[in-house]
């Protein structure tokens, strides 16, 4: 049992235990020697006293050395904030760029769709009237319609979005029935009646400009789209909003009359 316990003890504990035993033995010997009168001591006794004295000195020194606390390890000085920050692991530049790309992707401004723009521009207008010449058709006069009628391809997408949110009426002044037939055929060929909510009954024809003005006032739309500034001026008192389509911006218009080169440009699809 003693051997197993001693083997498990550390070398420092063994030295301390040995010194304590030696100290006890020296104390016992010193007490027994000094109890004998000095005149009765022989040379062997004197040598024993001297040896014990030397043993006591070495024992005391050993105890002092063993009992001293270990020197404290010098504390490491804290590095300045700049140095410590520089030693911290940093993400590689390409990883930072990747994270930034993800953030930019999720927080980039969302571009509104054409349908959202049309609905916003119309201000929830539920009824729209629009002339054909110069707006929907390539032709700009009734005389041209006697020869042909061509639907502008760039306007089809806007027309489709308008018919989704509003009740759309198309109207134009024509000189004869043949011109009227050409216009309806051109609209049908372009798919206006099949892809949108427009029907042939909502395409109106008249023989004078006053007749078109009468159509608009009877329908009472929220928006009217025209190329004739005089008609737009006359209708400004009766119609909530108007879009005047013209290459040149007029000098003066009513506050509720907007100007644009085309309806595609006005609604942002051009």
**What tokens appear for 216 in the block?**
């608009």
Of the candidates 136, 126, 125, which has an alpha carbon nearest to the alpha carbon of residue 227?
136
Tens place of pLDDT per residue across the chain (270 aa)? 444 444 455 666 766 676 677 666 656 665 555 555 545 555 555 566 666 667 666 666 666 655 555 555 555 555 544 444 445 555 555 556 665 665 565 556 778 888 888 888 888 788 999 999 999 999 999 999 999 999 999 999 999 999 988 999 999 999 999 999 999 999 999 999 987 678 999 999 999 999 999 999 999 999 999 999 999 999 999 999 999 999 888 877 889 999 999 999 998 865
pTM: 0.59
Pairing of strands 167-173, 241-245: unpaired
Residue 152: how many CB atoms within 10 A of its CB?
A: 18
CA 97-98-102 angle, 5° bins? 115
């Amino acid at each position: 049992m003693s051997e197993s316990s001693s083997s498990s003890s550390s070398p420092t504990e063994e030295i301390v235990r040995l010194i304590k035993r030696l100290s006890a033995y020296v104390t016992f010997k010193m007490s027994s020697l000094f109890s004998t009168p000095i005149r009765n001591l022989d040379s062997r006794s004197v040598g024993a006293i001297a040896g014990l004295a030397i043993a006591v000195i070495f024992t005391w020194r050993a105890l002092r050395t063993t009992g001293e606390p270990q020197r404290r390890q010098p504390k490491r000085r804290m590095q300045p904030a700049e140095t410590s920050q520089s030693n911290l692991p940093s993400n590689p530049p390409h990883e930072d760029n990747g994270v930034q790309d993800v953030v930019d992707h999720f927080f980039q401004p969302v571009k509104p769709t054409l349908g959202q723009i049309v609905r916003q521009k119309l201000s929830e207008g539920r009824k729209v009237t629009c002339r054909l010449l110069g707006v929907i058709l390539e032709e700009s006069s009734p005389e041209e319609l006697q020869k042909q009628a061509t639907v502008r391809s760039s306007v089809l997408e806007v027309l489709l979005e308008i018919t989704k949110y509003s009740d759309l009426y198309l109207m134009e002044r024509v000189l004869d029935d043949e011109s009227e037939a050409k216009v309806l055929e051109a609209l049908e060929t372009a798919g206006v009646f099949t892809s949108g909510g427009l029907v042939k009954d909502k395409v109106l024809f008249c023989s004078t400009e006053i007749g078109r003005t009468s159509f608009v006032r009877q329908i009472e739309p929220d928006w009217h789209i025209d190329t004739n500034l005089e008609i737009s001026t006359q209708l400004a008192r009766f119609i909530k909003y108007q879009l005047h389509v013209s290459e040149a911006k007029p000098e003066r218009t009513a506050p509720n009359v907007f100007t644009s080169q085309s309806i595609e440009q006005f609604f942002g699809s051009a």
